[in-house]
Amino acid sequence: MFKKLKQFGQAFSPENFRQGLENSRAAIANGGRLTEEQLAAMTPEQRATYDEAMARAALAVEESIAGERARRVLLGPAGDHLYGTMPDREQLTTIDLGAQLSQAADGFRQALRSTVKGKPPPLPPRPPVSADPAEQSAHERAWREESRTPYLADGRSPVVFTRIATDRKRPLEELAAWLGTSGLAGRPDLVYGVARVPDHVPGGLGIRKASIIEWEIVHAAQAALAPAPPAGFAEFDARETWVARRAGEPSILDEDLGVEHLARAGLGPEQSLGIARRVGVDASSGGDESSNPYVLVGVTGVIVLHPAGMAVGAVGRMRAARPLALAPREDVHVAVLNWLEIRKVVMPRTDRRPVVPSPFPYLPSTPQELLQAYLAIVGLRPRDCYSAQVTQDQPGNILGGTAHVTTTSAEKEPAADGEMRKRFRGGSRVVVAYRDAPEYAEGRARWAAYERDVLQAQLWVGTAVRAPLDAQSAFDRGALGALVRTAEVVGDVVSGNGWDSTEFDRIPRHRYCWPPVQ
């Protein structure tokens, strides 16, 4: 006992305490590491313990940096702007308290500015070449096209975007008729895909009702085609359980169900005019003190388009056989790209056009440009494509404004019908589904290099492709479940003690395969 008390007294003697402080100061001055003199004074056991601790710390630093990198869609300058500067090894291994406190204070001030005013876009990296927005935008796009050239596929097919306007009461019928009169309904081998434009183009007073519904057809036709009969189409409702899935099993994509429908009808991509996610819009001007304005855009189902007279009775046969045991087809590849994160930095206001000059001119300014780049780099042929579209996924509020102020106003621009109309821009995903082939695998390798080296992005991150199905709880069932789902959908756009009913109240997060089977 007396021996232990003596050792305790020696350890806390003034001399040893002073030596400990000096060692601590030396370690801090050396970035948290012991000096060579301190290491030399260690016993072999102490040195082994120290080396093991430093190795664990180095591994923790690498894992922290890797984890931060893995969660980011955008890297490089755009990622630093959107998520904050990537941590580096020096910052994570130093214990220079003064520098760290200074960095923390700078971060707090920046966060406060962002909260109060909204994060301003950074200045463009180079002076603009023109004061005219159209000329400046064209210059930036030409530079991006030049940067893309080394990655393009040889012998690639042309890519043409055609946008049409339809009446909001008969959008599918008018789309089918246009595909017929244009001749594309008779040449599905020239069509990459069709999409409902995920924007809201309001008409009249307020923002509640759409004036028109727009469609975008992506094709390779460069000359007039002979007219054909109107296209045929089938619809699948996202609220219906079409596919059997247990909790924990992968959910399905809208495109999976569309490909299955065509396959059961004996049709391949050369007979497909497009698998289009059925995009719905629910908008409100905020009619009372308990709710704010909002424009919700989300997916309510999927539409499969094909030439007239094909796939007759296929939907009925699928309905009779459901729930289907559907697995993704090995010969079909579905690419889902995260456009939403790019949009946040090149077009932060959905009620306005992309920022010109662009603060990040190496990134595409529109989702159509991103889609065209993927088709051209992978080298896809339209006869192999089931779907190519700019679309949406989970419901999101696209109303314009800043962090604390929303606005129901928007810039006017020519719509697909030629009229000047307000527009709120939606779209969070670029989706391409196609019949795979060895040359397309090579094309995806080129795309991966382009995405890494030019876009400085990881566009698969955050897309939740075929995410595992959640387990169904008591909150998912009955009236209480409906109440909870309503709160999840509109809770971030409607304030007060209650909430409005929206089109998305009954749309499950896992479409077509909810609830899970037991």
154 or 46: which carries more pLDDT confidence?
154
pLDDT at res. 211: 95
Contact 395/349 with Cβ under 8 angstroms? no
pLDDT at res. 400: 73
Find tokens 């054909």 and name the residue.
228
The answer to whether residues 331 and 214 belong to one domain is: yes
Task: For residue 11, give the amino acid letter.
Answer: A
User: In the chain, what is the greatest distance between 2 CA atoms, to the nearest angstrom?
Assistant: 106
**Helical H runs in 118-184?**
133-148, 171-182
The answer to whether residues 90 and 178 belong to one domain is: no
| Phi, psi for residue 388 in degrees, rounded to 5 | -150, 115
pLDDT at res. 89: 61
Averaged over 457-472, what is the pLDDT? 95
Residue 297 belongs to a domain? yes
The answer to whether residues 23 and 159 belong to one domain is: no
pLDDT at res. 425: 95
pLDDT at res. 443: 98
Show the beta-strand stretches assigned E in 223-342: 232-237, 274-284, 294-306, 332-338
The answer to whether residues 105 and 139 belong to one domain is: no
Averaged over 364-378, what is the pLDDT? 98
Residue 305 in 3-state DSSP?
A: strand
Confidence of residue 122 (pLDDT cuts 50, 70, 90): confident
Confidence of residue 14 (pLDDT cuts 50, 70, 90): low
The answer to whether residues 99 and 179 belong to one domain is: no
Of the listed ranges 54-68, 192-206, 324-338, 363-377, the one predicted with least confidence? 54-68
CA 458 to chain CA centroid, Å, is 10
Find tokens 């749309």 and name the residue.
507
Confidence of residue 50 (pLDDT cuts 50, 70, 90): confident
Q: How many degrees, rounded to 5, is the angle at CA 205 between CA 203 and CA 209?
A: 45
The answer to whether residues 234 and 95 belong to one domain is: no
Q: Measuring CA to CA, which residue among 475, 373, 381 is closest to residue 430?
A: 373
pLDDT at res. 115: 40
The answer to whether residues 94 and 235 belong to one domain is: no
Of the listed ranges 64-78, 157-171, 288-302, 388-402, the one predicted with least confidence? 288-302
Token digits for 80? Answer: 């630093």
Residue 12 belongs to a domain? no
The answer to whether residues 330 and 388 belong to one domain is: yes
Of the listed ranges 122-126, 158-162, 325-329, 513-517, the one predicted with least confidence? 122-126
Averaged over 410-426, what is the pLDDT? 94
Residue 506 belongs to a domain? no
Residue 421 belongs to a domain? yes
Confidence of residue 18 (pLDDT cuts 50, 70, 90): low
**CB burial class (10 A; 0-12, 13-18, 19+) of residue 118?**
middle
pTM of the model: 0.84
Pairing verdict, β 332-338 and 274-284: unpaired
The answer to whether residues 99 and 233 belong to one domain is: no
pLDDT at res. 271: 97
**Helical H runs in 12-85?**
14-29, 36-40, 44-71, 76-83
Domain range for 29: 17-117
How many distinct structural domains can be found in the chain? 2
132 or 3: which carries more pLDDT confidence?
132
Q: How many degrees, rounded to 5, is the angle at CA 261 between CA 256 and CA 265?
A: 145
The answer to whether residues 249 and 295 belong to one domain is: yes
Based on its alpha-carbon atoms, the radius of gyration of the chain, rounded to whole angstroms, reads 28
Query: Does the structure show a pLDDT above 90 at 178?
Result: yes
Query: Does the structure show a pLDDT above 60 at 100?
Result: no
Confidence of residue 30 (pLDDT cuts 50, 70, 90): low
Average pLDDT along the chain: 85
Task: For residue 209, give the amino acid letter.
Answer: K
CA 330 to chain CA centroid, Å, is 24
The answer to whether residues 103 and 139 belong to one domain is: no
Q: Which residues contact 203 (CB under 8 A, 6 or more apart)?
A: 209, 210, 211, 212, 421
Query: Does the structure show a pLDDT above 90 at 102?
Result: no
Burial annotation 23-55 (CB, 10 A radius, 16+ → b, else e) = eeeeeeeeeebbeeeeeeeeeeeeeeeeeeeee
The answer to whether residues 89 and 150 belong to one domain is: no
pLDDT at res. 489: 47
